[in-house]
Amino acid sequence: MDFKNLDIISINDFSKEELLYILRIVKQIEQKPKHSLLKGKILAALFFEPSTRTRLSFISAMEQLSGAVIGFSTANMTSIQKGESLWDTAKMTEQYADVIVIRHPMEGSARLAAEAANIPVINGGDGSNQHPTQTMLDLYTIQKTKGRLEEMHIGFVGDLKYGRTVHSLVIALSHFNPTFYFIAPDELQIPESYLDDLFHKKVKYH
């Protein structure tokens, strides 16, 4: 599979086979680290909302693979304050970097940035929509600790309405014949659109 120049915007964009392929590559890199894999490459980290773990994870990963990082950690440090659009910010950034990771409070912002930029864009979280790279990490963690992904019983507890990590993980795990348990107050239950999708995929849930 060729993932060169591929955007990572939504977990919906990946098939079961593609997700499993990515997990195999991750395992290979973990077993035999390729410290110079991204030597000479630059990641632009565009964080329009506060983040600790996601931002540090991307920076750490890039630097451990010998890449460099530029960017900002708050919108207050950007030309957005002077009226520059997100589209223009993405177009400008592509002149300085090889890949963009964006975190933004607006749903659909990562997709917009990907349409604007001619370099790969990674969604680090867009509003209450999705968080695909967190999902890939979660899949790998489950596979590594449980030894499988198929036919598992999985409970989701807490804010399921706005939790973008939950939304992405539900979509990804639906490929593996799971049984889901959604545990939350009525006002924070998972949106009906996700339940409709599970119903059409014949995925069991409670």
Q: Which residues are catalytic?
A: 53-54, 82, 103, 131
Report DSSP letters for 173-203, one per residue.
HGGG--EEEEES-GGGSPPHHHHHHHHHTT-
- Type of residue at 91: K
d(CA 10, CA 126): 10
| ∠ CA 29-26-163, rounded to 5° | 140
Kindly tell me the sign of the dihedral angle through the C-alpha atoms of 184, 189, 194, 198.
positive
d(CA 70, CA 4): 21
The answer to whether the CB of 176 falls within 8 A of the CB of 204 is no
